[in-house]
């Protein structure tokens, strides 16, 4: 299949099946959109849509916001991620809009990126969404999905952007950004892509490679068998094995061609908990961020969301915590108690919980007793690196103390929805 055919197949699929794809941020003019996009970095669109109505009402234009200061703006956006920096960016961005662009959001990328808090991705979003320019904003989803499909072979976001805009017809570029984001958010997940339900398999390089790997042990076994039969010159018996043949027959080692050696690489599989749905949830007692002892037995008659996350204040863990915070009232109404667990200490938890106004306990499992009891410590892979750490996992424990659900493919941005969808 040529690259042209691949692009054509993928675009036609999206055109037919996802004819409308647009941003989920709420805005009514270019100024509101640029503010919302700056705020949305490392935070959910849902959260941003909760804070922007009041912000837009009190600061409707760049001129009004430019007259304000970061402390005031902070008080409006304190519940989003990185509110200090974002408040400073918004005020400075508004000032630049007034002094350099007459209060009007520019439409050109090279002008947009001059604004405080506006990187290439934000500039592309504004240019494509507001001005319908053929600009491709590459975020983590666009980058991952494009590479997996084989639409791009990119090492960074800029590479990816350049390759995509080279091949996607101009009139489809702005929408293609949303197609790829949505596909990455709901189907082609980072850790566990849902290939079994994906309709793009015929064009997907990653899917094809995965299939080859799955069938590899069988096919290699056949190849080596055939080689052993037809080409005896490929068989060698090392000295030690020759000596051993007198006592017990030793299977001959088979020389494998270089091309076949390549195939012997096994796919990395991350550790997953050995606990199963239906198991009794291991008991625990540990201090939370306020130094209060929290025990599973405190919540008899309630459903407990026990979520394990790698580290306080990291982007993924912040998104996950903010998602559970944003839907906390819905979860509470449904009789859920939320408890976060990591190996961070109480001080770190307190800082994290205060900064993001988390309305639930974070347990300081510094000795990793709970982490080990729930078997969520193990080898994992991130950005190509393999190391040991906490495997992001959520256990939903029913009102009788039994594990009802185990979520290993956690969608950090929409984790609350993911849990609610199961209940």
121 classed as catalytic: yes
143 versus 336: smaller Cβ distance to ligand SF4: 143
Distance of CA 90 to the CA centre of its chain: 26
What does the alpha-carbon distance between residue 230 and residue 32 come to, in Å, rounded to a whole number? 72
27 versus 206: smaller Cβ distance to ligand SF4: 206
Give the shortest CB-190-to-ligand SF4 separation in angstroms: 10
What does the alpha-carbon distance between residue 88 and residue 80 come to, in Å, rounded to a whole number? 14
133 versus 185: smaller Cβ distance to ligand SF4: 185
58 classed as catalytic: no
What does the alpha-carbon distance between residue 373 and residue 253 come to, in Å, rounded to a whole number? 43
Q: Which of 133, 139, 326, 380 is catalytic?
A: 139
Which residues of this protein are in contact with ligand SF4, per CB under 6 A? 145, 148-149, 187-188, 193-195, 198, 200-201, 204, 206-207
186 versus 382: smaller Cβ distance to ligand SF4: 186
258 versus 269: smaller Cβ distance to ligand SF4: 269
Distance of CA 257 to the CA centre of its chain: 39
Strands 377-382 and 336-342 turn out to be: unpaired
Q: Which of 6, 95, 121, 355 is catalytic?
A: 121
Give the shortest CB-196-to-ligand SF4 separation in angstroms: 8
Catalytic residue numbers read 121, 139
């Amino acid at each position: 299949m040529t690259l042209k055919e691949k692009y054509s197949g993928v675009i036609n699929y999206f055109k037919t099946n996802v004819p409308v794809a647009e941003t989920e941020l709420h805005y009514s003019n270019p100024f509101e959109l640029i503010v919302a996009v700056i705020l949305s970095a490392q935070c959910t669109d849902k959260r941003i849509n909760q804070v922007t109505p009041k912000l837009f009402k009190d600061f409707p234009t760049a001129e009004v916001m430019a007259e304000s200061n970061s402390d005031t703006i902070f008080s409006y956006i304190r519940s989003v991620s990185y509110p200090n920096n974002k408040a400073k960016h918004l005020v400075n961005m508004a000032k630049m809009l007034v002094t350099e662009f007459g209060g009007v959001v520019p439409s050109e990328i090279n002008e947009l990126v001059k604004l405080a808090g506006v990187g290439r991705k934000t500039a592309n979003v504004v240019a494509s969404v507001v001005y319908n320019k053929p600009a491709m904003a590459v975020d983590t989803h666009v980058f991952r999905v494009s590479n997996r499909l084989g639409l791009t072979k990119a090492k960074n976001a800029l590479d990816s952007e350049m390759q995509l805009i080279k091949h996607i017809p101009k009139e489809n570029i702005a929408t293609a950004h949303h197609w790829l984001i949505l596909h990455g958010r709901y189907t082609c997940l980072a850790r566990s892509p849902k290939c079994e339900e994906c309709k793009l398999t015929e064009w997907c390089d990653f899917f094809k490679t995965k299939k080859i790997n799955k069938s590899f042990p069988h096919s290699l076994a056949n190849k080596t068998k055939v080689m052993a039969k037809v080409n005896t010159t490929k068989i060698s018996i090392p000295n030690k094995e020759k000596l051993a043949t007198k006592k017990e027959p030793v299977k001959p080692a088979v020389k494998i061609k270089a091309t076949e050696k390549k195939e012997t690489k096994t796919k990395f599989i991350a550790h997953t908990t050995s606990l199963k749905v239906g198991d009794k949830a291991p008991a625990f007692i540990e201090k939370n961020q306020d130094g209060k002892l929290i025990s599973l037995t405190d919540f008899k008659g309630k459903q407990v969301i026990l979520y394990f996350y790698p580290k306080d204040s990291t982007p993924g863990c912040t998104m996950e915590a903010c998602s559970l915070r944003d839907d906390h009232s819905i979860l509470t109404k449904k009789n859920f108690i939320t408890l976060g667990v990591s190996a961070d200490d109480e001080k770190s938890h307190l800082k994290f919980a205060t900064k993001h106004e988390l309305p639930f306990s974070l347990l300081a499992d510094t000795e990793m007793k709970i982490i080990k009891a729930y078997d969520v410590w193990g080898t994992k892979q991130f950005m190509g690196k393999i190391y040991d750490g906490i495997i992001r996992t959520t256990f939903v424990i029913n009102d009788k103390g039994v594990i009802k659900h185990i979520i290993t493919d956690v969608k950090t941005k929409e984790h609350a929805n993911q849990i609610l969808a199961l209940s």
